[in-house]
Structure 1
């Protein structure tokens, strides 16, 4: 097996007396979708915030491409190629697609915004992911559907030279057709060599798109499974703590 893009070993995080992560191990590979599942309070959000540098881990090892890293800020994570698409997408509805994709990272030429260059780059990013549902990169975000907004947020990570894309509930509140659109996009990300870590409560979506499934239970990583070699009932058993080898830390 090739070296993991991301390796977490024995990572821990506490908030006061509450131990949220209790020595978690995780591997995410380039070219694969790893689904991170678990019930509310399992520690999923804390795990990805540590990886994104938002809430640094208290202890443990983080390796990126085999190199030991200390992630103390989102800037450090982004410099490595770790990008997060949070559930709220962080898009400005009054701005168009190009402006959102380059927000805070605008391209300048002779001291002014290079609109043509940014527009071409935004179009290339969408085309690279075979996105065909967006009519124009100059559409305002307010005019886009939920699925289209998710598409723009994901394509923005491509512009930022991401190597690991973390998706927080990418299909939440989407209809059937829009969910299908986003899942196809997630699959294309992995097929193009990106590592994808996807949080989801929807096991149907997980089994449709994920290569591997990692299960958190009360701050412990209780299972890391190949999707093709497991079942939804087995995964539910780990999520709920019913599985016989689930141990509380």
Structure 2
């Protein structure tokens, strides 16, 4: 079982980049993606936006291994990568935070961070399956602290945490194991303003650690302020990718809803 990512691995992660090239995906007669191309940089927040049905969630599912593209290529660190499952994506260092969080609410924050990746004690403890709870607690607390997240206790069940805190725990889990990218699907959809601010601070801290962060969002005003770049999708394609510093909310909305790209 793979241990949490070390500082040395974090440094290596900064050199990684992902490119999705001409990705298509059909579901029967419905063509969800029509040759979508997207470049993702390490250490940045990339927002993927678009109207309903634009293909943004399907494109992220292709990157996360939840769907297999009909055609196209995924390139990681300059080499073609086959991602046919979530396990494939995770082996490539790509972890996803889902809208429903995929958490076990009755388990503690600590147990959720290590769910499926529990660490065992050495020696005889390993042989009889004893968990290294002290080390797991230290690593979980460090992961949350590194992202600037404060929760009452990592021993508290996640059902007792606020929505923003639960989302932050889910992000901390992804960051602990990712070496390339963290993908987030509508991370603030069900949150209020204060909880959204917690999540956005966590997203910024994640990118600052050298990971690529890809965020699918309908919250255009906030995402323009948060992201380094904004990829606008329409009809299954990436229409244009804009630098956030060189655009504004009105332009993003116009392009989403059908305006032509001007140079």
Q: TM-score category by the smaller chain?
A: over 0.9
Alignment of structure 1 residues 43-58 onto 2, 5 Å: 43-58=55-70
Question: Following superposition, which runs of at least 4 residues in structure 1 exceed 3 angstroms of deviation?
Answer: none
- Note the 1:1-249 alignment, pairs <5 A: 5-109=17-121, 110=126, 111-132=129-150, 134-241=151-258, 243-245=259-261
Aligned residues: 243
**How far is the alpha carbon of 1:161 from its aligned partner?**
3.3
Counterpart secondary structure, 1:214: strand
User: 1:223: Cα distance to partner?
Assistant: 1.1
For structure 2, the 5+ residue unaligned runs are 1-13
The normalised TM-score by structure 2 is: 0.89
SS across alignment from 2:67: coil
CA distance in 1, matches of 2:72, 2:224: 30
**SS of equivalent residue, structure 1 residue 155:** helix
Structure 1 gap ranges (5+): none
**Does the 8 Å contact 1:12/1:59 carry over to 2?**
yes
* Cα distance between partner residues in 1 of 2:37 and 2:16: 12
Measure the CA separation in 2 of the matches of 1:27 and 1:35: 12
Q: 2: CA distance between counterparts of 1:141 and 1:4?
A: 32
Distance 1:240 1:166, change over 3 A: same
Distance 2:179 2:160 in 1: 27
- For the aligned residue pairs, the C-alpha RMSD in angstroms reads 1.5
Q: CA deviation at 1:162?
A: 3.6
- Is the 8 Å Cα contact of residues 240 and 261 (structure 2) preserved in structure 1? no
CA distance in 1, matches of 2:111, 2:15: 36
Distance 2:15 2:109 in 1: 36
Contact 1:4–1:27 (8 Å) recurs in 2: no
**Are the equivalent residues in 1 in contact too, given 2:48–2:214 (CA < 8 A)?**
yes
